[in-house]
Structure 1
Amino acid sequence: MRLAELAGKRVAIWGYGREGRAALNLLRQRFPQQRFTLLCTSAEAAAAHALADANLDVLVHAAESNALLQFEVMIKSPGISPYQPAVHDALEAGVRFTSGSAIWFAENPHARTICITGTKGKSTVSALIAHLLRSAGKTVALAGNIGLPLLELMDVKTSIDWWVIELSSFQTRDAQAVPDVLLVNNLYPEHLDWHGSIETYYADKLALAARAKHLVIGAQQPELAAYCDQHPARTFFGTSSGWHVTDAAIWRGDKRVFDLSASPLPGAHNAQNLCAAFAMLEAAGEDAVTFAPFIASFQPLPHRLQTLGVRDGITYVNDSIATTPYATLEALHSFPARAVTLLVGGFDRGVSWEDFALHMQVAPPHTIITMGANGARIAASLRAHAVTCEIVETVTLEAVIAVAKTRTPVDGVVLLSPGAPSFDQFRDYAERGREFARLAGFDPQLISGIAGLGIA
């Protein structure tokens, strides 16, 4: 949907997070005399009411009534599920739904876009691709789910060589985009509370796959390849003929390209992320091999296997971004010879911890401490599988840290890799990570934001 189609319509912006704020700001700039409505939660209401004027109405909890039906167009924020009854009723009544991402793509059909999605690693790969392109002298915009809404870059005057855009499953469903290159990095169950089922999550995550001019996927998941087997322009990474990891190095076919000892990104999963980035650049028509030296200067993203430092002989690692059990397993693989106290649990999205428990039967860490809304469920699953390490149940992050300090030996690691979202106790994963740093004795203000957002 184009912006011009909103002129004179009864338009509501649903949600007042980052995406909602960006949408509202843009509409008020483009249509200063038009009346708009903001639908928000009670937690957002105070900030929203501060903006209210003659041309802006604020409704709280409008989805709980028939309020959606009074609008012609609804600009929905990504975090709001379209599978709730209120949305169904509004669609039946003829309300048109769109999103900030969909509007940006409609307004910029000729932009050269490299889009990244997947259950794990999409932010790291997005930032890495942007860094490599910029290091090679390209002008790049880095935006999307990574932390900068696309609508904040709507009126850019600079000539952009590449738009590098991270998209969540919430956004791929609605974007209606035609990416020049799309990466689906991997696919594991997540966000089941939003999507309603694994099948719907996979369908929404892959919604842009058929539209992409070139599709890049990992060869490690045959089921992912099967979902995309009809695409006419597919590239795999992780195969011996393409970009892959062998002998602690990144290879392109039989050519050794980059030694992983020089990488600032720890872990086997990040080696695969490097392969994904190179495959994306190659699919975009760039000489990816020549970009390899720029990896060493990449600044890793905060809250992603971020070593905070050592206190009383214990290393503290912040992996708060890990919001699935699969991400937690990858994090554990990064410390094969260390005594790890693993901190898991948080908001319960209904994701199964069965596979995690099975892995813990085979290779348990030193200690597992559970917390949050699903902590008891995780502990019960571990005990049901007779996991042999010590399992301690707590509720709050403060209690977790207190226990971890007494259970972790000198030279051990306290690893916050929750495998679950943070919404039961924190605003987001970043707030959770900063609080972990504070409780462990580090300055949370030293955890910087994501470098490179925007245009450079």
Structure 2
Amino acid sequence: MRIADLAGKRVAIWGFGREGRAAITAIRSRLPQLPLTLFCSETEVAAAHAFDPALDAHGEEPDASALSMFDVLVKSPGISAYKPALLAAREAGIRITSGTALWFAERPDARVVAVTGTKGKSTTTALLAHLARSLGVRTALAGNIGMPMLELLDQQAELWAIELSSFQTGEAGPVELGVITSLYEEHLDWHGSRERYLEDKLKLAGVSKQLLVNALQPFLLERTAHHPHRIVFGDVAGWHVAGGFIRRGAESVFDVAGLAVPGEHNALNACAALAALEAMEFDAVAAAPSLATFRPLPHRLQPMGEQGGIAWINDSISTTPQATLAALASLRGRAVTVIVGGHDRGLDWSDFVGAMRRAAPHALIAQGANGPRIAGALRDAGVPVEEVADLAAAVERARELTPQAGVVLLSPGAPSFDQFHDYAERGRRFAELAGFDSHSITGIEGLGIG
């Protein structure tokens, strides 16, 4: 469905975040007289009227009866497609679309690399854009990484590096290359079950002419084995990490020590970006030296500096136990106090507990809504752990426990919703509590066309 197809239809927008505002602006640019209804929170109604006085804004979540008044609903990614009201609306014949779906319908000509994955998708997408631009390729960086594609609706690029969340993969149109960096359980509250999350994530494979996946994940290889044009990264025959180098087959291309983003998992993200660039028929080997000038994304193993002789690292983006394990692996050999815990959405922490039993960091601090559950599992396994109520208390205790030249790592392994609006707010608060200027934690560089 294109925007022009909305003409004469009764259209509602659900969500007034950046995606919702982008959808309203894009529809207005094509169909300025089309009546639009907005469903948002009560606190957003005034801002919605200021943004577009013609909006019929409702400060409430619509039920099936309210949605039945419309022909088309444009929903934001954070609205679960499995809400009962949406399922009933779809059953009643109401067309459910999104900003992602509208962009793909409007831009079938775009050369798109769509990147998803439980972890690594943002860094991989940003690396791809950075590397492509180093070759002089006019590249767009957009999507879930922080800029809705509809904000770039009428702009041109040779290459589109687009990050898709699991909320968006089912809304993408045909893409030249799909990339899946990793696959673990996450967002069970949105998808409803582990299997549905995996199925939704893997919908990207169905619309990808070529599919690039992580060779180090047997489960992912198994689930994508049917794809007729699948390629891999992380395998010794192609782009992989070995002996401290990023390699292309037997050729050593880039010293991992030159990466500004720490950890072997980030070196593997670089391999994914290089393999994607090569799959799109650009010179990845020529682009590889530019890995040295890539700046880490905020809240992703972001070194903030030293306070009181202690190094502080912000990994607030970590919302799964596997991500926390990867963060700890990148700091192996250092005295690390790690802060874990947050919103409890029922993820399995048993692998994390097993890893801590084998090799625990200097100190573990559990906080937040699922802090007691994590702490209990660690104690049952004989792993020492401190338990506090919230992030402020965790930072104070970490300051007391961490030796000089040690590291305090915020890598919660859980979402932020128990205490904060999102992971970015959590990361900024961590910076403030540690004694840093939270304004120094900037947004993602390079969004848009460059």
| TM-score interval (norm. to shorter) | over 0.9
- The residue aligned with 1:256 is 252
1:65 Cα deviation (Å)? Answer: 5.7
1:328 partnered with 2:324: yes
1:186 Cα deviation (Å)? Answer: 0.6
> 1:15-30 alignment to 2 at 5 Å?
15-30=15-30
1:428 Cα deviation (Å)? Answer: 1.3
> 1:103-142 alignment to 2 at 5 Å?
103-142=102-141
Alpha-carbon distance in structure 1 between the residues aligned to 2:14 and 2:323: 31
1:382 partnered with 2:381: no
- The residue aligned with 2:272 is 276
Task: Report if the CA contact (8 A) 1:250-1:260 is conserved.
Answer: yes
TM-score computed with the length of structure 2 as normaliser: 0.98
Q: Give the direction of change, closer, same or farther, for the CA distance of 1:225–1:295 in structure 2 (3 Å limit).
A: same
Question: For structure 1, which segment, 100-109 or 233-242, has the greater mean C-alpha deviation from structure 2 after superposition?
Answer: 233-242
Code of the residue aligned with 1:329 in structure 2: it is L
> 1:17-96 alignment to 2 at 5 Å?
17-51=17-51, 53=53, 55-64=54-63, 66-96=65-95
2:315 aligned to 315, 319, 327, which one? 319
Code of the residue aligned with 2:415 in structure 1: it is P
Question: For structure 1, which segment, 103-112 or 65-74, has the greater mean C-alpha deviation from structure 2 after superposition?
Answer: 65-74
Counterpart of 1:62 in 2: which secondary structure? Answer: coil
1:170 partnered with 2:170: no
Question: Structure 2: which 5+ runs fail to align?
Answer: none
> 1:37-436 alignment to 2 at 5 Å?
37-51=37-51, 53=53, 55-64=54-63, 66-156=65-155, 158=156, 160-175=157-172, 177-387=173-383, 389=384, 391-436=385-430
Q: Give the direction of change, closer, same or farther, for the CA distance of 1:3–1:260 in structure 2 (3 Å limit).
A: same
Alpha-carbon distance in structure 2 between the residues aligned to 1:272 and 1:377: 32
Task: Report if the CA contact (8 A) 1:62-1:68 is conserved.
Answer: no
1:398 Cα deviation (Å)? Answer: 1.1
Code of the residue aligned with 2:240 in structure 1: it is H
Alpha-carbon distance in structure 2 between the residues aligned to 1:420 and 1:318: 14
1:43 Cα deviation (Å)? Answer: 3.9
Alpha-carbon distance in structure 2 between the residues aligned to 1:4 and 1:259: 50
> 1:439-454 alignment to 2 at 5 Å?
439-454=433-448
- Runs (4 or more) in structure 1 with deviation over 6 Å come to none
Code of the residue aligned with 1:422 in structure 2: it is S
1:31 Cα deviation (Å)? Answer: 1.9
Task: Report if the CA contact (8 A) 2:176-2:209 is conserved.
Answer: yes
**Deviation string, structure 1 residues 260-309 (Cα, Å, up to 9, x no partner):** 12111210101111111111111111121111111111111111111111
1:8 Cα deviation (Å)? Answer: 1.3
Counterpart of 1:293 in 2: which secondary structure? Answer: helix
1:349 Cα deviation (Å)? Answer: 1.8
Question: Structure 1: which 5+ runs fail to align?
Answer: none
Alpha-carbon distance in structure 1 between the residues aligned to 2:358 and 2:276: 35
Task: Report if the CA contact (8 A) 1:281-1:287 is conserved.
Answer: yes
1:37 Cα deviation (Å)? Answer: 0.4
Task: Report if the CA contact (8 A) 2:209-2:229 is conserved.
Answer: yes
Task: Report if the CA contact (8 A) 1:52-1:58 is conserved.
Answer: no
Alpha-carbon distance in structure 2 between the residues aligned to 1:293 and 1:192: 39
Alpha-carbon distance in structure 2 between the residues aligned to 1:201 and 1:68: 25
TM-score computed with the length of structure 1 as normaliser: 0.96
Alpha-carbon distance in structure 2 between the residues aligned to 1:363 and 1:225: 29
**Deviation string, structure 1 residues 355-377 (Cα, Å, up to 9, x no partner):** 11111111111111112121111
Alpha-carbon distance in structure 2 between the residues aligned to 1:4 and 1:52: 20
Aligned residues: 450
Code of the residue aligned with 1:30 in structure 2: it is R
Q: Give the direction of change, closer, same or farther, for the CA distance of 1:297–1:340 in structure 2 (3 Å limit).
A: same
1:173 Cα deviation (Å)? Answer: 1.8
- What RMSD, in angstroms, separates the aligned Cα atoms of the two structures? 1.2
**Deviation string, structure 1 residues 27-77 (Cα, Å, up to 9, x no partner):** 223222221100112343342243463x32111223346211111100010
1:438 Cα deviation (Å)? Answer: 0.7
Counterpart of 2:313 in 1: which secondary structure? Answer: strand
